[in-house]
A = this chain, B = another copy of it.
Amino acid sequence: KATYRVCTLPGDGIGPEIMAEGKKVLAAVGEKANVDFVCEDHLIGGAAIDACGSPLPDETLNAAKASDAVLLASVGGPKWDSTDPNAPRPEQGLLGIRKGLGLYTNLRPVKIYDALAGASTLRPEVIKGVDLVIVRELIGGLYFGRRERFYDEPGAGANGGRGQRAYDTMEYREYEVERIARKAFEAARKRRNKVTSVDKRNVLETSRMWREVVHRVHDEEFPEVELEDLLVDNTAMQLINRPADFDVIVTENMFGDILSDEAAQITGSLGMLASASLGDGVSLFEPSAGSAPDIAGKGIANPLAQILSAGMMLTYAFDMTEEAGWVESAVERVLDDGWRTRDIADDATPADHVLGCAAMGDKVVEYL
């Protein structure tokens, strides 16, 4: 009987609640597939700061490295918002584990569930058929470049040198662009064979290098995949104008952060979106939405993104595509039968079809 060790990181806010449902579904899949998923909780984010002063204790990173896959829920919350610039921040745990595991590829699929199309603020005919994936570079660029804040010497620089000065650095090396481009083209091959590479080539040097390298990788290794370039500002428009036209969108870290959230919002059901972060070793899976501190502890959070993240883990970490299909199809049928959590319910949902977090997890297990 195969055994997989999953490092589970419940984190903050609704994290522990939705994680419980993710594990529930995983256990049910394990039983059906005759596989053992051994989950072990570790601390990250605000919870880790509270327990031991660091958003990513060494113990957690080591456990993650020693595991077969990492399943994360969410980190952060107002409790750890501090005006002290040196105070540890929950997000550092997330950034730290991405870097620590070398997770350079972030896959964020954005897909409209027919049953939930009404939740979108876009017109139904515009979002019909939307099925794209954002391939975001995750451990480079402005997120991990050199940054500093200091005071100008009196008299030096502009404005007589008064006041503070700060900078961040958007830096990329050729091999970092190469490897993420490859992931995008590989993803496109398994989908509709089209890649949109997003940059700001008319301004940034990193973007000019980005475009050259993406085209070289394309011409040398994936000439049969359709490739188009789009400026980041134009992409922000086209995602609203013609979202269904996109297949794979590949871009650098900060642009990917902004565009993937924009694309997620287009569906109107953020609580449904899962993501995978991949490198050359252990991978990490997490919902796209945040820790929702305002509803934490109330038992009303939507666990479906967490459950679908576990589904992505089956595909990408354990090569269990068939079993991943069970999870996706169970979620789809649950929705088709009208079961909802509060965030995706609408006026047409009968009160007895609005489920709490745990009841939704149970429902998915029932449909498995």
Query: Chain B residues with Cβ under 8 A from A268's Cβ?
Result: 241
**B-contact bits for A203-214, CB 8 A (1 contact / 0 none):** 111101100010
Decide: A170 and B142 in contact? CB cutoff 8 A: yes
* A158, CB-defined interface residue at 8 Å: yes
* A167, CB-defined interface residue at 8 Å: yes
* A155, CB-defined interface residue at 8 Å: no
**B-contact bits for A287-303, CB 8 A (1 contact / 0 none):** 00000000000000000
* A40, CB-defined interface residue at 8 Å: no
Decide: A205 and B148 in contact? CB cutoff 8 A: yes
Decide: B169 and A167 in contact? CB cutoff 8 A: yes
* A163, CB-defined interface residue at 8 Å: yes
* A50, CB-defined interface residue at 8 Å: no
A202 to B159: give the CA distance in the assembly, Å: 28
* A232, CB-defined interface residue at 8 Å: yes
**B-contact bits for A122-153, CB 8 A (1 contact / 0 none):** 11001000000000000000110101110010
A266 to B265: give the CA distance in the assembly, Å: 13
Decide: B165 and A173 in contact? CB cutoff 8 A: yes
Decide: A170 and B173 in contact? CB cutoff 8 A: no
Q: Interface stretch among A15-23, A251-259, A277-285?
A: A251-259
Decide: A173 and B168 in contact? CB cutoff 8 A: no
Query: Chain B residues with Cβ under 8 A from A362's Cβ?
Result: none
**B-contact bits for A83-99, CB 8 A (1 contact / 0 none):** 00100010100010000
**B-contact bits for A153-184, CB 8 A (1 contact / 0 none):** 00001110011111111111111000000000
A208 to B87: give the CA distance in the assembly, Å: 13
Residues of A239-266 whose CB lies within 8 A of B: 239-241, 254-255, 257-262, 264-266
Decide: A240 and B85 in contact? CB cutoff 8 A: no
- Dominant SS at the A interface? helix
Task: Indicate which residue in B158, B166, B175, B262 contacts A208 across the interface (CB closer than 8 Å).
Answer: B166
Query: Chain B residues with Cβ under 8 A from A259's Cβ?
Result: 236
Query: Chain B residues with Cβ under 8 A from A149's Cβ?
Result: 205, 208-209
* A121, CB-defined interface residue at 8 Å: yes
Decide: B261 and A233 in contact? CB cutoff 8 A: yes
Residues of A215-237 whose CB lies within 8 A of B: 232-234, 236-237
Decide: B209 and A143 in contact? CB cutoff 8 A: no
- With A121-B122, A152-B173, A173-B158 known as contacts, the answer to whether A167 contacts B241 (CB < 8 A) is no
Q: Which residue of B lies closest to A256 (CB)?
A: B233
CB distance from A133 to the nearest CB of B (A): 17
* A200, CB-defined interface residue at 8 Å: yes
Query: Chain B residues with Cβ under 8 A from A172's Cβ?
Result: 165-167
CB distance from A258 to the nearest CB of B (A): 5
Decide: A163 and B173 in contact? CB cutoff 8 A: yes
The 3 nearest A-B residue pairs measured at CB: A163-B174, A237-B265, A236-B262
